[in-house]
Structure 1
């Protein structure tokens, strides 16, 4: 009976957290602010206590999780309707580099040292502070970078080149298996795919580790 109760409570906790995550929206998962991080810890603790504390049943666990979910939902509504509350509840971005100069006071407030700042810049492909005109520390801990003009990559407009259409790339083979939904999305079928593979001297789908397609560049294949 004890193991059966744990099994039942585990499934119940999984389902209710899944519903809660879907109700709150994808930003709760993707944009992990300090408030979201605390929320995730508390939700995990609530479900964990419900699993292993014999005095806490499904109804107690469900009530606590739903109550916390309502509080999170109300918080989201407040931050959407009242702009002034966003900086308090979600935080606000901070400028770490302004017009090429490092803002030491802002770094101190954000508890950020130079090693951490350089790490964040490298994650954006920037390996020297001299390349940066502006660097903004976002509320989720990432950094947004605007490079100085001399270090920005040229675009087609700079060379007066004609515009080209932008095509979305679809993965159509993954680990030797066809992704039929994506294949249908690009308007082709298995027979077409096999014919294209034969042109590249590939005679079996199972020999392909990865394949993608876009209408501008055609089919790209990588074997095992």
Structure 2
């Protein structure tokens, strides 16, 4: 009976958390703010602690998740409507390098040391601070970099080259399984797909690790 109780509470908590996160919206983990991170931890702890507390049942779990989700939802609405609250709850971007000079006071305010700054800059392709004109520490802990002009990559406009249409690649096979929705969406038939992978030496879909199609470039297939 104890295992059945834990299982039922876990399933209900799982559904409640899933429903709550759908209502609150999507946030990529790399873009999560400190407040979002703490909110996610508390929401998970509400369910986790309730599982092993004999005095707490399913109704209490649902109430706790619903109340916490409502508080977060109200907070999100407030931050969208009131800009002043946005800085308090989400923080605001901070300039840590300006005109090539490191702003040590701004780094100290954000508890950022030189090793961390160098790591963040390298993740943006700037392996030397001398390459950076401006660097902004974002609210999610990442850094946005504007390089000095000698270190910026040339663009097609710089070379006075004509514009070129950009198209997204479409995944057709992943780990030996066909993405049928993508295949149908772009009007490809199964017969066409089989013919394409066979030209790359694959007899069956299970022989294909990855296959994608892109306009003007055709299909790319990699077998196991």
Taking structure 1 as the reference length, what is the TM-score of the superposition?
A: 0.95
- Per the alignment, residue 181 of structure 2 pairs with 181
Instruction: Provide the aligned length of Structure 1 versus Structure 2.
Output: 224
For residue 190 of structure 1, what is the aligned residue in structure 2?
A: 190
- Partner-residue secondary structure (3-state), 1:157: coil
Quote the residue 1:12 is aligned against.
12
1:94-173 to structure 2, matched below 5 A, reads 94-173=94-173
Q: Deviations over 1:42-91 (max 9, x none)?
A: 11111112100101111112111111111101100110001111000110
Structure 2 counterpart of 1:204: 204
Per the alignment, residue 42 of structure 1 pairs with 42
What RMSD over aligned residues (CA atoms) do the two structures have, in Å?
1.4
Secondary structure of 2:172's partner? strand
Matched, 1:68 2:86: no
Which blocks of at least 5 consecutive residues in structure 1 are unaligned? none
Cα distance in structure 1, aligned partners of 2:196 and 2:28? 42
Aligned to 2:222: 222
SS of aligned partner of 1:156: coil
Q: Secondary structure at the match of 2:111?
A: coil
1:3 equivalent to 2:3? Answer yes
Conservation of the 8 A alpha-carbon contact between 1:35 and 1:90: yes
- 8 Å CA contact 1:173–1:212 kept in 2: the answer is yes
Measured after TM superposition, the shift of residue 145 of structure 1 is 1.1
Distance 1:62 1:28, change over 3 A: farther
Is the 1:49–1:56 Cα contact (8 Å) retained in structure 2?
no
Q: Quote the offset at 1:216 in angstroms.
A: 2.3
Q: What is the distance in 2 between the residues matched to 1:42 and 1:147?
A: 39
By how many angstroms is 1:28 displaced? 7.2
Is the Cα contact below 8 Å between 1:28 and 1:36 reproduced in 2?
no
Cα distance, 1:127 vs structure 2: 0.9
**What's the CA shift for 1:143?**
1.0
What's the offset of the Cα at 1:197? Answer: 2.6
Q: 1:50 to 1:30 in 2, by over 3 A?
A: same
